[in-house]
Structure 1
Amino acid sequence: MWVLLSPHADASTSSSLPSRIYRIPKSVLEEWSQTFKDMFGIPQGESVEGSSDGNPIILPGCTIAEFEDLMKVLLTPTYVSSIKPFTLSEDQWIGVLKLSTMWDMSVVRKHVIATLSPMIQKHTAIEQVVLGKQFKVAAWFTQGCASLASEYKTIDLTSVADTLGWEFVARILRVGASAEKDFELTATSEFKCKNCKLRITAQSTPKCNETSGFGLYHGKWETNIRFTCASRSCSGISNISSIVVEKASVRVQTPDLKASISVVFKEELQEMYL
């Protein structure tokens, strides 16, 4: 059995005359789309929508090009499960992702996301966030947020806000600051400060020297790691002799940006999948 479909780019044109009509096997649509399967399962009267040229199923919010690209995928079923990418451009795959999301084509959607992901990795962090939100792809959204949060001190906040809003910027700053606070530094032994002779143990400390008590501060990653005594007696002393620690004696725990993102953007991520 065949069904007649007419795509319309404008979502508000559902009552207008069809611009182009496609005759598609009903079984194909039912197999790949839960939306169409549910639609065809609804009892209809004498004039069944999609049964004739005069009464096709109007598909609002779908361009002719997008529909034809989707049909290339659906009517060449080996490509749905094949590792080899279908011969479509990135923009064409984006169009297929749009329709497979809109019409609940979960298998097709997973295949499209797997094909697109290497391409999306080359996009800017802002574009990754935008595409992740638009198509509900948690991996793209998280990847973009992590990139922005990891450079939150140097990124152009205005350019981010122009696209994603200042509320989003504030939350990215929160993720970045939180991850930095969680940065952990530990050492396998104790060391003496060459200035005050106090014995200090490398421990989790903030990256600034606004602290009381004792701790170690790490500098740039070089052959050795250079630490400065954080005791009050050494505070404010210029050209203080540093404690040099071999890399092998230091363990660093990298901040978990994704964990922080999952908390700060919990509501957004709950609406996404895959």
Structure 2
Amino acid sequence: VEGEVFSPPRQAFIKHSPVFEDMYLVGDGSSGEGRSKEKPIILEGYQAADFKALLMILYPTTTDLISGKLSLTKGQWTGVLRLSRPWEMHEIRKFAIERLSSEPFNLTPAEKVSLAREHKVSKWLIEGLTSLASGDPELSPDQLEAAIGLRASFRIVGIQNKALSKPMITSLLIDGNSATRLALPVLHCGYCVKPMITSRCTCQSCNLAVEPGTLGPVYISSSTTTSMLNRTDVGLSFYFRADSLLCYACRRSFMPSGITCTACNKNNTPSINLIIPLSPSRAPDCSMEGLVREVFKDEIQECDM
């Protein structure tokens, strides 16, 4: 590899890679390639540093085994990912994706998109594009173009405009009385002040399943006591007790036992005040993800191939 000769045991390569299994079979033939250092199998187009990182996975040291950790850098894990796909090392590829997705690497949305495109990881592509469409982080048009390219940045702006055109709060009549209906993602946690429901949620009183982007099944009655407008991290907002959120299907409390915030994992008990921004600045992440899947469908499918 890049002029450097390696002599690792072949068993792990044969076990994890059908490509190497074929290489060794060919090498054991009349050519003699792979049978000695004088006649190695030549791997063109690959980097020695990536190959060394792969060897750290295939042949961990005693220290690695005792500690239960593989001390690879982000660049080394990326190198493992770079080799595992063309060599059909599916288990190792999955392992590298899992490690890069976790602490301490914390891939940025732009990094996820870039790595997803290079290494065909649909999970990262969806996550990265959804974060960028949701404004996390907030990027200028030039920064967005530099991060993901001109065409994709135009698509992201289109997704944002489409998502923001959807009403998140409106009014309706319940038994002749005015009420406020809302989509679940406008509910912000009383502790961390972040959207607390980003996936399907079930009414605790009647088990009605409510999709996060659906406007209608959940409402606040006109008799509910709310706070005056207060300035919060998400702008002007008002507060109301969690047990005042009602289900349209059963007309009872939607969360009589409270609910755990998906952002900070703290339990918002029925007596805790939930927060609703006066003007939600972003549509729910789950809605954004649906739009990302729709708009970038072809590119996502290419990653899955």
RMSD: 4.1
Which residue matches 1:144? 128
Q: How high is the TM-score relative to the length of structure 2?
A: 0.59
2:4 is matched with which residue: 16, 20, 39? 20
* Aligned counterparts of 1:245 and 1:191: Cα–Cα separation in 2: 24
CA drift of 1:187 comes to 5.6
1:168-179 aligned at under 5 Å gives the runs: 168-179=152-163
One-letter amino acid matched to 1:148: L
Aligned partner letter, 2:70:
F
Residue 94 (structure 1) aligns with: 78
Q: Greater CA radius of gyration, 1 or 2?
A: 1
Structure 2 residue aligned with 1:66: 50
Q: Aligned-pair distance for 1:123?
A: 3.4
Asked if 1:134 is matched to 2:118, the reply is: yes
Distance 1:134 1:62, change over 3 A: same
Verify the 8 A CA contact 2:172 2:178 in the aligned structure 1.
Answer: no
Taking the TM superposition and a 5 Å limit, the aligned residue runs for 1:36-185 are: 36-41=20-25, 45-76=29-60, 84-119=68-103, 122-151=106-135, 155-185=139-169
How has the CA–CA distance of structure 1 residues 149 and 81 changed in structure 2, closer, same or farther, with 3 Å as cutoff? farther
Distance 2:163 2:63 in 1: 41
Give the whole-Å Cα distance in 2 for the aligned partners of 1:81 and 1:87.
11
Query: Residue 71 of structure 1: CA displacement?
Result: 0.8
In 2 relative to 1, CA 119–178 (structure 1 residues): closer, same or farther, beyond 3 Å?
A: farther
Aligned match of 2:14: 30
1:86, distance to aligned residue in structure 2 (A): 0.7
SS at match of 2:124: helix
- Contact kept? 2:109, 2:131, Cα under 8 Å: yes
One-letter amino acid of the counterpart of residue 59, structure 2: L
Q: Is 1:256 aligned with 2:240?
A: no
Q: Which AA in structure 2 matches 1:143?
A: E
For the 8 Å contact 1:145–1:261, the answer to whether it is kept is: yes
How far residue 29 of structure 1 moved from its aligned partner, in angstroms, is: 0.9
Q: Please tell me whether the aligned partners of residues 188 and 250 of structure 1 are also in contact (alpha carbons under 8 angstroms).
A: no
Query: 2:253 corresponds to which residue?
Result: none
| Pair 82,117 (structure 1): closer, same or farther in 2 beyond 3 Å | farther
Structure 2, unaligned stretches of length 5 or more?
184-225, 230-237, 248-275, 277-282
Distance in 1 of aligned mates of 2:145 and 2:58 = 39
User: 5+ unaligned residues in a row in structure 1: which ranges?
Assistant: 1-6, 9-18, 193-198, 206-222, 227-243
| Rounded Cα–Cα distance in structure 2 between residues aligned with 1:137 and 1:249 | 39
Give the whole-Å Cα distance in 1 for the aligned partners of 2:26 and 2:151: 43
How far did residue 265 of structure 1 move? Answer: 0.9
Question: CA offsets per residue over residues 68-121 of structure 1, 9 Å max, x none?
Answer: 221121023999999943111222111112111231111111111111112487
Letter in 2 for 1:62: Y
Supply the AA of the counterpart residue of 2:295. Answer: V
What secondary structure does 2:133 align onto? helix
